[in-house]
């Protein structure tokens, strides 16, 4: 009788393990970047909540609010922060989200700033320019 081989050889199993290791080596850093970008988006979302109050203050008074309190917003970092954002503040037409708390070390203590632009009756917001020091790889596409 002829002996029929059953199962995999050792070399076949080693090749499969090597392929999985290569795929993991590529996927894990990309996943880390994805996680950091989602943490940055929390700051953008919290800053979005400030836009209405800042724009309303400017529309009513003709000047930008000097701080959170004058814009009618919470004045403490605990009230304006989130899981990854230690606090959001507004000064002179700029809303700044500072990362801390449980944020990744690559963005800890970095900031994203939204600057208001008066377009003669409408207000637009930009995150390009001064005040943003989060590495560009982690910023939303509109801020790069």
- In this structure, which topology does domain 10-143 adopt according to CATH? Glycoprotein, Type 4 Pilin (3.30.700)
pLDDT tens string 58-77 = 999 999 999 999 999 998 87
Q: Identify whether the C-beta of residue 57 lies closer than 8 Å to the C-beta of residue 72.
A: yes
Its pTM stands at 0.79
Please report, for the chain, how many H helices and E strands are present, in that order: 2, 4
Q: Identify whether the C-beta of residue 128 lies closer than 8 Å to the C-beta of residue 143.
A: yes
C-alpha 112/C-alpha 88 separation (Å) is 10
pLDDT class for 1, splitting at 50, 70, 90?
A: low
pLDDT class for 80, splitting at 50, 70, 90?
A: confident
Every domain of the chain and the residues it spans: 10-143
Query: At residue 22, does pLDDT exceed 90?
Result: yes
What pLDDT sits at residue 130?
Answer: 75
Query: At residue 142, does pLDDT exceed 90?
Result: no
């Amino acid at each position: 009788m002829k002996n029929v081989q059953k199962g995999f050889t050792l070399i076949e199993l080693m090749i499969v393990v090597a392929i999985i290791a290569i795929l993991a080596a590529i996927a894990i850093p990309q996943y880390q970047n994805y996680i950091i970008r989602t943490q940055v988006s929390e700051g953008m979302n919290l800053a979005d909540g400030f836009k209405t109050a800042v724009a309303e203050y400017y529309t009513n008074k003709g000047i930008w609010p000097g701080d959170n309190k004058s814009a009618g917003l919470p004045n403490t970092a605990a009230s304006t922060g989130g899981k990854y954002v230690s606090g959001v503040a507004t000064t002179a037409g700029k809303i700044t989200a500072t990362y801390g708390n449980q944020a990744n070390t690559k963005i800890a203590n970095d900031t994203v700033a939204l600057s208001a632009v008066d377009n003669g009756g409408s207000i637009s917001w930009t995150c390009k320019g001064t005040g943003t020091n989060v590495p560009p790889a982690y910023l939303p596409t509109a801020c790069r």
